[in-house]
Amino acid sequence: MKIAVTGSIATDHLMSFPGRFADQLIADQLHKVSLSFLVDDLVLRRGGVAANIAFGMGQLGLRPVLVGAVGADFADYRSWLERHGVDCDSVHVSEVAHTARFVCTTDLDMCQIASFYAGAMSEARNIELAPVAERLGGLDLVLVGANDPEAMLRHSAECRERGFPFAADPSQQLARMPGEDVIALIDGADYLMTNDYEKSLLQSKAGLSDEQLLERVKIRVTTLGKHGVEIAGRDFETIHVPIAREIRAVDPTGVGDGFRAGFFTALSWGLGLERAAQVGSLLATLVLETVGTQEYQVRRDLFVKRLGESYGDVAADEVRPHLLP
């Protein structure tokens, strides 16, 4: 499959707070909250949802096309991604802005407080998908991930206009999108990707029931944290997939991106929705077990072994032929 992954490309500044945010928040004082957390460490990592997803796909043997906007400081990051199987030829380089930055602090409960500087990402609204499709000889799927909101709306509109299958993945940008923009983003999507909180927020903003949501999108994929993944569609019974077994949780940043990378890669192999969610869940677990969103490595034998331990030998046997030795 020829997959274009659109969305943010950023550097991550990740910190760990040796306490619990909940202990510092006073319920009747939240309207004037002013807090500073003394953190234990600072780690700089490569990130951004589109880059994270593309990296994960590359780890599984695909060559996804990354589509987004960056600054002139992207050179080293570009080399890293290209070494890991990502096509960066459709990335727009700004002449005036820096690459976006994500600053995130995680507490002992794995709760997070984060800020995001858009920088060059605001220029993603100027990117057209048609030249990408022309260069590749067509597009089998466009993942419309969290990005400059105008870029997200433009990409989904262009997908509808040109007949490109697409996945709507609003993620963090739901917080700033009005209901009419939410509907414009998701309408006609082949897949809608959210977590359970984002699903509730999306439906509240758009005024859509579960049934009405599935009138606008073909398949809804909702991650449920420790409760796994739920997949619903118009023509099949709802599927529930439990999480993969973890060794030790370290950092949840980028876990959702890992799931998406595994899920859509497995679909590109021709596997079904349940198996795709299992592959996505295991890749998400690999992300969870490392600090940083692109610091894990997929080793075929170990990946297949862990897939079998979580989901059985049949799952392992179906996936094994698709992974590079």
Active site residues: 257
Length of the chain in residues, anyone? 325
Strands 191-195 and 219-223: parallel
**Spatial distance between the Cα atoms of 283 and 280, rounded to a whole number of angstroms:** 5
Locate 43 and state its tokens: 């780690």
Locate 284 and state its tokens: 């998400």
